[in-house]
Amino acid sequence: MSTPYDLITMGRIGVDIYPLQTGVPLPQVETFGKYLGGSATNVAVAAARLGRSVALISRTGRDPFGEYCHQALKGFGVDDRFVTPVDQYPTPVTFCEIFPPDDFPLYFYRRPKAPDLEIYPGELDLEAIRAARVFWMTGTGMSEEPSRTATLAAMEARAGAGAGTTVFDLDWRPMFWGGEGGASSAGGATGHAAMAEARPYYRRALAHATVAVGNLDECEVATGEREPHAAAEALLAAGVTLAVVKQGPKGVLAVHRDGTTAEVPPVPVEVVNGLGAGDAFGGSLVHGLLAGWDLERTMRYANAAGALVATRLACSSAMPTESEVEDLLARG
């Protein structure tokens, strides 16, 4: 590609198998929908929906679900040239249960190993990574080798070249680090051990990132802090220029190294499935950063995009267009 991408994301890809019945436990669910999934993938789709040129770095199995991922990426306008097959591992699938407004348990099927953790440093197109206006990576990408080394190598290449914005999505999934629970939470009885395992790698990544995005659990993994303002300051001290702390029902706090602060309440909506909201927020955050918007406008826009997705069942296919976000903001 002769023109640099607006955004390259790196991380999970897979298939979301979501129940078409709300408020029903998985053993009793009778019908499911199939959707493209994975946090880095969903962020890429969200930004593409907003008109950005986007590519994804990831890997699938060499199987029908892998073919589906490629077809879906192309359908959403995301360049799939950096998504390659792995022969020995199947494309992951993820199930969820839907209990609105705030209970959406996730069940990851990523064993013996997910193909997206088989990204090798030597396979990276470092020229494209350095040239991208924004590079987005996730905490999950550092949970196993060789993806851990590849992810850090991509960040170091950008930092060494003085490239543009590098976003670290703190993306804490305890089960990928030896903890308990598939979603962002303390990790049950093994939570402290899992956090201790992850924290050194999070610190290394923060030193090469310009933006950090995470909820309070994720901020605690990265910095040891849970209080929002303290967590933001700790992220800035670790090396980033912009810290974005998501506070759930209390909205979002963003603090820039230059002293600019934005604290924005959530957009009230009737929640159907909250799982894709953070990824919509991420893609819209990238959109606002690329547009050069001020911090408050960017946060309000990203909040609105996340709220829209929370009113819909799916994740990737639920990502809003620019006009949909603007309409919701206008109604507020």
**pLDDT exceeds 70 at position 159:** yes
Q: Is the pLDDT of residue 171 over 90?
A: yes
pLDDT at position 188, please?
A: 63
pLDDT at 189: 63
Name the pTM for this structure.
0.96
Indicate the pLDDT class of residue 111, thresholds 50, 70 and 90.
Answer: very high
Residue 325 has pLDDT above 60, yes or no: yes
> Could you give the maximum distance between any two Cα atoms of the chain, in Å?
53
Alpha helix stretches (DSSP H) within the chain: 39-49, 64-76, 126-131, 147-161, 191-206, 216-223, 228-237, 277-291, 295-310, 322-331
Phi then psi dihedrals of residue 166, to 5 deg: -120, 115
- DSSP, residue by residue, 2-42: -SPPSEEEES--EEEEEESSTT--GGG---EEEEEE-HHHH
pLDDT of residue 223: 95
Query: 55: exposed, middle or buried (C-beta count within 10 Å: 0-12, 13-18, 19+)?
Result: buried
Tokens of 65: 């679900």
Q: Kindly tell me if the per-residue pLDDT of 224 is higher than 80.
A: yes
Give me the helix-helix angle, 191-206 and 216-223, nearest 10°. 70
Task: Give the Cα separation of 199 and 250 in Å (integer).
Answer: 26
pLDDT band at 78 (very low <50, low <70, confident <90, very high): very high
Could you give the percent of the chain with pLDDT greater than 70? 97
- Under the banding of pLDDT at 50, 70 and 90, the label for residue 180 is confident
* Under 8 Å between Cβ of 171 and 323: no
Question: What would the pLDDT profile of 257-268 be if each residue is shown by its tens digit?
Answer: 999 999 999 999
Confidence tier at 249 by pLDDT (50, 70, 90): confident
pLDDT per residue as tens digits for the range 22-48: 999 999 999 999 999 999 999 999 999
The confidence score (pLDDT) of residue 216 equals: 93
**pLDDT surpasses 80 at 1:** no
